[in-house]
Structure 1
Amino acid sequence: MSSPRTVLVLGSTGSIGTQALDVTGRNRDLFRVVGLAAGGSDPQALAEQVIAHEVEAVAVTRATVVEDVQLALYAEARKRGYARGEFRLPRIFAGPDAVEELIDAVPADVVLNGMPGSQGLGPTLRALKTGATLALANKESLIAGGPLVRAAARPGQIVPVDSEHSALAQALRGGRAEEVSRLVLTASGGPFRGRTREQLVDVTVEDALAHPTWAMGQLVTINSATLVNKGLELIEAHLLFDIPCERIDVVVHPQSIVHSMVTFVDGSTLAQVSPPDMRLPIALALHWPNRVPDAIAPCRWDEAATWTFEPVDNEAFPAVELARHVGSEGGCLPAVFNAANERLVTEFLAHNTSFTSIVDTVAEVVEAADEWRRPPRDLADVLAAEQWARDRATTIMSGGK
C-alpha cells in the first residue's frame, strides 16, 4: 500500500481550509497534513488544527500574533492531556512572506491554496515551482496572474477545487479536447435571483450576505450576489481548460445540484451532479485523479426532485459579460478587474458605496486601464496593476476621473 500523500493547507482556518482538514482527518490512510498557513486572526482555531493533525510547521501572515499562537498551542496541548514539556512546538513562520517560506521549507505532494483574494498569487507560483500538485481554491491568483501561472505550471499540475471547475474537469474526461464544443458554468443566482436592476439599488449589506446555498467568507458571498464570482469563474475556466471565453456559457441553476456541464460537438452534454458540499471537490483535488470513497453522501434518486435552468439577466447582473470581455482581452486586465472589485466590496461592506455601484465602478476602472492590456512581465507587474486598479476605484468613488 502506498504511503499517504503529504499536504500543505493554505488558508486553514477559512471555509475551504476547515473542510479540507475534515477530509484529510477522515482519510488518514490517504493524506498526511504537514503544514498549515493562516492569517492568524483565530489563534485558538489554528492551535486546535495543528494538534489534531500533528502538523510540523505553521505560517501566519501577521507577525504580531506569533506569541498568541504559541500560547494557544500550549493551552490546547494541556487540554488534550500532554504533560508539561512533552509537547513540541511546530516550526512557526511569520510575516508577509511566511506562506512562501513554509512552502519552501516543508516539501509536500499537494499544496491546497485556499487563501482569500489575490494575496494567494505568490504562494501559487511558489507551490508550482516546487513541483507539487496545486489544488487551487484561490481562483484570484490564477485570474490575476494568468500568463505567469500558466507559464509556471506543467500540464495537469493545477487541479481545481471550485465546485464548478471540478465538475468541468470531471465531465471533460468524457471526450477528447477536440470534441469539446462549449463549457457551461452553473450559477445559483445568489440571493437576488429574479430581481430587476431597479430592485437592486437599495440592497443592504445584510441582504447581500444571505446566500441561499453556500456558507462562504464575506468577499465570496458578495461576489456571488453580484455574480462577479461567476465572472471570475468564467475567466478561470478559460485559463484552466484553454477554451475561448465566447465558448463558455453561464446558466442560472438555483438548486446547485448540477455543478457544471460540458457540451460536445455531437450534441451530447455531460453534467456533474452532487449535493452542494465542497468536501467532494476538495477530496477529489487532493487525491486527483482518484476519487475518495464516501467523500459525501450522493444524491437520492428515490426521492422526487426538480431542477431548473434559466438565463442570466445581464442587465441586472452585468458582471458576467464584463468578465467575458476582460478574459478575452487578457493581459493584466483580469488582475485589474479582480483588484477593483475587491476594493469595491470592501467599501460596500463598510457602507461606503451601493450594491449596484460595485460592478458599475469596476467597469469604469477596466475601461480606463489602457496601460494594463499587455501581459504581466512578473509578479511585481501584477501587483502594480492591482494597486493601480484599487487607486483608480478609490478616485472614481470619490468623484474624480
Structure 2
Amino acid sequence: MTDHLLADPHAPCPADPPPSGGPRDIVILGSTGSIGTQAVDVVLSNPERFRVTALSANGGRVAELAEQARRLRVRTVAVARADKADDLREALRAAFGPGEPLPEVLAGPDAATELAGSECHTVLNGITGSIGLAPTLAALKAGRVLALANKESLIVGGPLVKALARPGQIVPVDSEHSALFQALKGGTRGEVRKLLVTASGGPFRGRTRAELADVTPEDALAHPTWAMGPVITVNSATLVNKGLEVIEAHLLYDIPFDRIQVVVHPQSAIHSMVEFTDGSTLAQCGPPDMRLPIALGIGWPARVPDAGPVFDWTQPMSWDFFPLDEDAFPSVPLACHVGALGGTAPAVYNAANEECVDAFLAGRLPFTGIVDTVASVVEEHTGGRTDGSPGGTDLTLTGVLEAEEWARARARELAARAVVEARA
C-alpha cells in the first residue's frame, strides 16, 4: 500500500500536459447521469480547454447519449447494457447527419472499464454505485488522472485504489471532498486538526427517529437543496451518503475517524472545512452547484473561469450550523464503525444499503428500516466484532465483489422478512 495521500492538493499532476495551446482530452463515464450531464456542460462551455474523446453510460437513455456524442464529436461511445447496443447505433445514426462518420460503439459490463484505460489525460468517473470500481482501477493502472465522483469505488475498494494511485493522480469531485481538497492547500497534513464535513441534513433535518417512521419515497426524494438521482437523494435523506463521505474523507486524506466530524449546514453554502492546529478554520463556499467541483476535477491544477455561479455579496444572507442527531440518523456512526473495521465491511455497508434503498423506493421497506437492515447485515458479516478486527480480509476485486453479492442477497432476505412481519 502506498504511503501518500490519495488526494494530495500539494502533489504535481502525474499525467503529461496536452500540447501547448491544445485542449485536454477527457473521458466521461456515466455521461447521462447528474455528474455527467453537468460535465458535458462544462466542456461545451470551454472548448479551448477540454475535448471529450469517449463517453459511457448504462444505456437507459441512448438518445441523450447519442446527442452528447454528436455535440462533443467523440471517438467512442459505450453502454453497459449489451442489449442496448443496436438502439445506440440507431440513435447515433439519427443524431448525426447523413454521411457523417459515427463513433465506435462498445457494449457490455466491461465497456466503461475499457474506456477508462484508453488514451486520454483525465477520466471523470461519474458512474453511480460500486460498479465504478473496475473503471477506477483501470484509469489508475493506465496512468490517467482520475477525477473521482464515484465515491463507492473508493468505499468498497479503498486498499486496492490506494495500492495503484500515484501522488496527485486522484482529484475528488464530490462537493465536500473538493472543498476539503481546496482548504487543505492552506497548510501541511501535520497542521490539520480536524476535517469538518458539512451536511444539508436532507429533507428531514430536525425530525426525531419516531417522526421518520412514516416517511414515504416521495418525501425522501424531495431534497431541499440538490437535484440528484433517486439513490443518492434517498442516501442524503438517511444520511448514508454522509457516512460514505466520512469513509471517503478518511481514505483520501488519511485522517483518523475521530478527527472527522459531520456538521449540519442547511444552506449548503459551505461545502466543508478544515480546522488547523493553530485554531484557524478554512472553509470553501459557493452556491450549491456541481459545475465548480467538476470543472476543478477535470481542470486541476488550473481553475476554470466562471465554472459556476457566485454569491451576490451585496445581498443579506445567513448560514446556520447544527450538531448531527446520531439517534435519528445512525448511518454516520455506523459508517465510521465499518470504516474502522476495514476489510470488506465498507463494501457490505454500501451494497446492503443499495438493496435497501431499492426496497424502500418499491414500498417494501420503511424508511427507518433502511439503516436498521444495513446494520444487521454488517453485524452478521463482521460476526458482531467490536474490537476493530477486519470484517473480511480478501481485498482482491473478486473478494470485494463476492462480499457485495452476499450483502445484497442477505439485505433482500431481511427486507422481505420485515414485510412479512409487518403484515402479520
What TM-score comes out, normalization by structure 1 length?
0.96
Note if contact 2:364-2:416 (Cα within 8 Å) is conserved in structure 1.
no
2: CA distance between counterparts of 1:328 and 1:126?
Answer: 26
Matches within 5 A, 1:228-307: 228-307=240-319
Give the conservation status (yes or no) of the 8 Å contact 1:145–1:376: no
Note if 1:90 corresponds to 2:103. yes
Q: Which residue of 2 aligns with 1:42?
A: 61
* SS across alignment from 2:279: coil
Residues 316-372 of structure 1 deviation map (CA, whole Å, 9 limit, x = unaligned): 100011111111111111101000000100111111000000001111111111276
Other-structure match for 2:208 = 196
User: Counterpart of 1:286 in 2: which secondary structure?
Assistant: helix
Aligned partners of 2:343 and 2:395 also within 8 Å: no
Which runs of 5 or more residues in structure 1 are unaligned?
Answer: none
- Cross-structure match for 1:323: 335
CA RMSD of aligned residues (A): 1.1
Deviates more, 1:192-201 or 1:95-104: 95-104
Counterpart in the other structure of 2:9:
none
Unpaired stretches in structure 2, ≥5 consecutive residues: 1-19, 384-389, 419-424
Give the secondary structure class of the aligned counterpart of 1:398: helix
Partner of 1:368, secondary structure, is helix
- Alignment partner, residue 166 of structure 1: 178
Tell me how far 1:97 sits from its aligned partner.
Answer: 1.0
- Aligned pairs (5 A) from 1:61-80: 61-77=80-96
User: % of aligned pairs identical?
Assistant: 60
Q: What secondary structure sits across from 2:284 in the alignment?
A: strand
Superposition pairs of residues 2-401 of structure 1, within 5 angstroms: 2-77=21-96, 82=97, 84=98, 86-104=99-117, 106-370=118-382, 373-399=391-417
Which amino acid is the alignment partner of residue 151 of structure 2? K
Given that 1:37 and 1:60 are in contact with CA atoms closer than 8 Å, whether structure 2 keeps it comes out as yes
Q: In structure 2, what is the Cα distance between the partners aligned to 1:307 and 1:175?
A: 25
Equivalent pairs, count:
393
What SS does the aligned partner of 1:172 have?
helix
Distance between the aligned counterparts of 1:40 and 1:358, measured in 2? 28
Within 2, Cα distance between the matches of 1:57 and 1:363? 42
Q: How big is the shift at 1:173?
A: 0.1
- For the 8 Å contact 1:147–1:376, the answer to whether it is kept is no
Q: Secondary structure of 2:317's partner?
A: coil
Residues of 2 paired with 1:102 and 1:311: CA distance?
42
CA 1:30 to 1:375, structure 2 compared with 1: closer, same or farther past 3 Å? Answer: farther
Secondary structure of 2:417's aligned partner? coil
State how far apart, in whole Å, the 2-side matches of 1:397 and 1:69 are: 36
Q: TM (normalized to structure 2)?
A: 0.91
Equivalent position SS for 1:59: strand
